[in-house]
Amino acid sequence: MRMKKLSGTYLGVFLAFLYAPIMILILFSFNESKGRTFTGFTTRWYSQLFSDAAVLDALWTTLVVAFVASIVATIMGTAAAIGLNKMEGRSKTLIMNMTYLPIINPEIIVGVSFMLLFVVAKNLLSSVGIPFGFGWITLIIAHITFNVPYVILSVLPKLRQMDGSLVDAAMDLGCNHWQAFTKVVIHEIKPGIITGFLMALTFSVDDFVVSYFTTGAKHQTLSVLIYSMTKKRISPEINAISTILFVFVLVVLIVVNIMERKTLEKQKKAREYQLREGGI
Amino acid sequence: MRTKAAAYPYIAWGMLFIAIPLGLIIYFSFTDSAGALTFDNIIRVGKYSNVVVKSVWLSAVSTVICLALGYPIAYYMSRASAMTSRTLLLLIMLPMWMNFLLRTYGWMSILENSGLINQFFGLLGLGPFHLINTQGAVVLGMVYNYIPFMILPLHSVMLKIGNDVIEAAQDLGASPRHVLTDVVIPLSLPGIKTGVILVFVPSVSTFVISQMLGGGGNQLIGDIIELQFLGNAYNPNLGSAISFVLMLIVLLLMSVTGFIGDDLEENLI
Amino acid sequence: MNDIIISLQNISAEYDGEKVIDNLNLDIRDHEFVTFLGPSGCGKTTTLRIIGGFVEPVEGDVFFDGERINGLPPFKRNVNTVFQRYALFPHLDVYNNIAFGLKLTKVPEKQIAAKVGAMLKLVNLEGYESRNINQLSGGQQQRVAIARALINEPRVLLLDEPLGALDLKLRKEMQLELKRIQQTLGITFIYVTHDQEEALTMSDRVLVMRNGKIQQNGTPEDIYNEPINAFVADFIGESNIVHGVMLEDYLVEFAGVKFACEDKGFAHLEAVDVVIRPEDFKMVGAEEGMINGKVESITFKGVHFEIIMEGHGLRWMIHSTESREVGENIGLNLTPNDIHVMKKLEEGR
C-alpha cells in the first residue's frame, strides 16, 4: 500500500516535470505581453499567426518537405525492405549497417556530412555551369535519407513475420510477382508501412539539426525559424502555432488509440469464437 | 532473383547520400583547405580537449540520471495493467511531438533569473538563485529531452520479463531486493544498453541545449563543430576533424557496451 | 501408358548447397491419389514444391501432360496447392479467399459467385461466405484452403501436410473428406505427409522417401506387407529389426538361431536386416519357442497388449491380445512368411 502511494507520487512528479515547459508554452501563447511574465489573457497571437508571412512560409516549407520526403522514403524504403528480405550474407550485412548509420550517428554529424556533400556538389556542378544551391532540394534529399532507415526497419520485421507461403499461395492461384505484391504482400505489411511513414513524417516535422545544416537562405523550416528566434525573443505566435500542432497531435493520438482498442476487442471476440467452436 | 532488385534504388541512394558524405568528413579531416594531406586538423582538436572532456562528463551524468529516474518508471509500466501501461506510454511520448527547441525554450522561461522558479522564491523573499547558464541547467535540458529514449527501450525489454519468472524467484526465497538485483536487472540489461546509447549519443553531440540553457560559457563538442561550419570561424577541415573525433567517441562507447553486433537490429526497434 | 500426367526425370535439387533430392524418377498417373511419405528432411516437400513451381531442380526435367515445364512459374501451371498452414489471406473473408484465383482472370462476378457457392458446398461450408478467416476453426480454415485451391479447376492438387495442425479426431474426419473430394472431382491428388497411417488410409499409391531418394513405390498393401528394406519397415508400422546372416537361399540366422525363410538371392554369409512385425510372433510356453526369454514389461494399448521380452541378448516387441505376467518366461515362434529378410541399408542413403 505504501509502495503504491510512493510510486504514484513519483509518477505524478515525473509527469509534472515532463509537462511543465509545455504548459508554460501554452500559457504564454495566451499572454498579452511579449515577455516571459504573464500579464493578461489574449488570443491575439493566434489571429496574428495567420497573417505572419515568415511563420506561414516556414510552416509551408516544413509540411512540404516532410510530406515529400516521407512519401519518397516510404516507397523507397518499402522496396528496399522487400529486396533486403531476400538477400543474405555479407552484402545484406553491409547494407543493413549502412542503414543503421543515419540512426546511430549523432545528428550533427549527419547534418555536417550533408553540408560537406552539398558544398562539394555545388562547386563541382557550378564548374560545369549547372546552378545548384541550398534550398528545397538539399532539404528534401537530407530528409529522405534520414527517413528511409526508419521505414526499412519498420517494414522488415513485418516481412519476416509474414507467412512465406502466402506469396506461394498467391502465385499458385495465378498471381504474377507484381500481383502477388499488390494483392497479398502489401496487405500483410501495411501496418509496418504506415508506422514507417508516420515515423518518417514525425521525424521530418520535428527535425532541427539536419535541416539547420542543409537549409538555404530563402526557405526555412519551422524548427530553423524557431532556433533563429531563440537567439533573440521568441514571438508568441510560435507558441500559438506549437499549441495548435500539439493539440492536433493529441487529438490524432486519442483517435488512433480508440480505434486500436476497438480492433483489439474485435480480435478478442474472434479468438473467443475460435475457442468456442474448437472443432467444426 | 528479381525481388532483390527492389533494393537497388535504395542502395544507390545510400551510397550517394550516406556513405559518400561520411567519407567526405574523413577526407576533410585529413586535408587542408587546398586539399593536401595533413594531420594539423586532428592535432588542433587537442586544443579543445577540455570541451571534449566536459561534453563526455555532462552527457555521462545525464545518462546516469536518466537511467536512475527512468528505470522505476519503466518497471512500474511493465507491471501495470495494459490500459495503464498504454496510457503512461502515450503520456511519456506526447511531449516529443512538441518541437524540442520550444520545450527547451520553455525551460529558459522557468529557470531564468526572472523566471517562474525565481518568481516563486521571490514571493517567499528568497533568491534570486542563479539557475540558467549553468552546467546543471545543461544537464537538466539533456535529461528532460532524452529521458523518453531511456524509458522506451527499458519498457519494451521489461514487458518480456514474465510475471512467472518474478514469482518463481519469490517462490525460491528471493527478497524484493534480490528479485531486482538477481532477476529484473540482469534480464533488462539489453534495454539498459540501448537506453544508455540513445541518451548518451544525442547528449554528447548537442549544441542547442548547451547554447540555450548553458549560455556562452558551457560550450560542448557540438557547439565548436557548428562554429566551424556555420559560425564565424568557418573551417570545414577542422570541423570535420572534430566530427571525426566525436564519431570515434560514439563508436568507442558502442563497442564497449557491445551494442554493435548481431542484435543491433533488435536494439533499435 | 499415356495417362501419365506428371513425370519427374532424373531430378536433383539443392537447398543451401546441400543435396535434398538425389536423381529422382517418378511418374504420376491421372486421377491417382499419390502420397509422398517420409520423415522430415526426406525431400518430400521439396518434390512437391518442384511440381508446384516453387523450387527449380538443379538437374532433371519436369513434365506435365507430356510437356516440359521446367522454369514455368507457379502461376502458369495447371496445379494448385493446399499449404501446410493453409496460407489463407488474412485480409480477405472466406468468399474472397476462395474467389481469389478467379478474380485474377476477369471471370464475370456472377460466374464467380456461382462457383464459390459450389465450392463451399463441396467442402461443407455453406453460409460462411462473409466470415473472417480468424473467425474460423482450424478444420474450417482447412476446408477454405481446399476450396480456394480447387476453384481454378487444377488437373492436379498438391497437398503439403494439410492435416498436420489438426487434432486427431478432426484429422481422421478430414482424411475421409479429402478422399471423398478426390473421388467426386476425379482429379489427381499428390499428398505429402509423415504420418504413415494417413498415407495408408487415403492413397492409391505410396512413395516412401528418405534422404532425397524414393525407397519404395507401391500400393499401401505392398508397402505394409512387403517393405523393401528395414527403413521402410520401421517407418511403416512398428517392427523388430535385427541383424542377421544369410546362410543360403531360404535359410537365415539371427539371434543365434537358424530360421527357414522365403527369401533367396543373397550372397553366401551376406549380412542382412531381418524384420519381424510385432503381431506376427506366436507366444508359446517357456523354453518351447524358437526364441525364449523373460517378459520385461507389458503395456495395455487398447486393442492389444504390447509385450517386451528379453531373450537371446535382444529385446523383442510382441503385439498380442493375450496378456502375460512381467517376469514370466515365454517362448516365441515364427513361420517362414513372418520373417522378412532385407538388404542392409547403405549408410546415409
Percentage of chain C exceeding pLDDT 70: 98
Instruction: Indicate whether C349 pLDDT > 60.
Output: no
Name the residue with cell 513434365: C63
Q: Are residues C101 and C200 in the same domain?
A: yes
Q: How confident is the model at residue C265 (pLDDT cuts 50, 70, 90)?
A: confident
Taking Cα atoms as reference points, which of B21, B40, B59 lies closest to residue B249? B59
The whole-number pLDDT of residue B105 equals 86
Q: Is the peptide bond before A191 cis (omega within 30 degrees of 0)?
A: no
Q: Is C251 within 8 Å of C284 (Cβ atoms)?
A: no
Q: Regarding predicted confidence, which is higher, C301 or A118?
A: A118
Q: For B38, phi and psi rounded to 5 degrees?
A: -155, 155
Which residue, C209, C230, C251, sits at the end of a domain? C230
* C307 SS3 class: strand
Contact residues on chain A for C53, CB-CB shorter than 8 A = 171
Instruction: Indicate whether C142 pLDDT > 80.
Output: yes
pTM of the full predicted structure?
0.81
The whole-number pLDDT of residue A52 equals 86
Q: Regarding predicted confidence, which is higher, A87 or A254?
A: A87
From the list A169, A174, A279, the residue facing C87 with the nearest CB is A169
Q: How confident is the model at residue B262 (pLDDT cuts 50, 70, 90)?
A: very low
From the list B3, B21, B94, the residue facing A86 with the nearest CB is B3
First-last CA distance in chain B: 28
Instruction: Indicate whether B264 pLDDT > 90.
Output: no
Cβ separation A173–C84 shorter than 8 A: no
The mean pLDDT value of chain C amounts to 91
Question: Is there a domain that residue C107 lies in?
Answer: yes
For C139, the domain range is 4-230
Question: Is there a domain that residue C126 lies in?
Answer: yes
Instruction: Indicate whether A29 pLDDT > 80.
Output: yes
Q: Are residues C79 and C160 in the same domain?
A: yes
The whole-number pLDDT of residue C348 equals 45
Question: Is there a domain that residue C332 lies in?
Answer: yes
pLDDT in tens, A36-46: 677 888 888 89
Which residue, C171, C206, C230, sits at the end of a domain? C230
Please name the CATH architecture into which domain B31-268 falls: Orthogonal Bundle (1.10)
- Which partners does chain B have (≥3 C-beta pairs < 8 Å)? A
Question: Is there a domain that residue C139 lies in?
Answer: yes
Q: Is B20 within 8 Å of A116 (Cβ atoms)?
A: no
The whole-number pLDDT of residue B266 equals 52
A106: amino acid identity, one letter: P
CB hemisphere CA count around A129 (13 angstroms): 0
Q: Are residues C225 and C258 in the same domain?
A: no
Cβ separation C81–A184 shorter than 8 A: no
Instruction: Indicate whether B244 pLDDT > 80.
Output: yes
Average pLDDT of the segment spanning C132-161: 92
Contact residues on chain C for A170, CB-CB shorter than 8 A = 89, 100
**Minimum Cα–Cα distance from B213: chain A residue:** A230
Which residue, C162, C196, C230, sits at the end of a domain? C230
Taking Cα atoms as reference points, which of C54, C61, C112, C113 lies closest to residue C83? C54
Instruction: Indicate whether B216 pLDDT > 90.
Output: no
Q: Are residues C266 and C339 in the same domain?
A: yes
Q: Are residues C17 and C142 in the same domain?
A: yes
Question: Is there a domain that residue C348 lies in?
Answer: no
Cβ separation A184–C136 shorter than 8 A: no
Cβ separation B243–A109 shorter than 8 A: yes
Sequence ranges of the domains in chain B: 31-268
The listed range with the strongest mean pLDDT (A92-106, B60-74, B179-193, C152-166) is B60-74
The whole-number pLDDT of residue A280 equals 39
Q: How confident is the model at residue C221 (pLDDT cuts 50, 70, 90)?
A: very high
Check CB contact of B116 with chain A, cutoff 8 Å.
Answer: yes
Does chain B reach chain C with at least 3 CB pairs under 8 Å? Answer: no
pLDDT in tens, A260-277: 777 777 777 766 666 565
The whole-number pLDDT of residue B202 equals 94
Average pLDDT of the segment spanning B226-252: 92
From the list B3, B101, B107, the residue facing A82 with the nearest CB is B3
CA distance A191 to C236: 47
pLDDT in tens, A139-154: 999 999 999 999 999 9
* DSSP one-letter code for A217: S
Give ipTM to 2 decimals. 0.89
Q: Are residues C243 and C226 in the same domain?
A: no
Q: Are residues C180 and C38 in the same domain?
A: yes
Domain of C100, CATH number, reads: 3.40.50.300
Check CB contact of B250 with chain A, cutoff 8 Å.
Answer: yes
Question: Is there a domain that residue C21 lies in?
Answer: yes
**Minimum Cα–Cα distance from C105: chain A residue:** A174
The mean pLDDT value of chain B amounts to 89
Per the structure, the count of domains in chain C is: 2
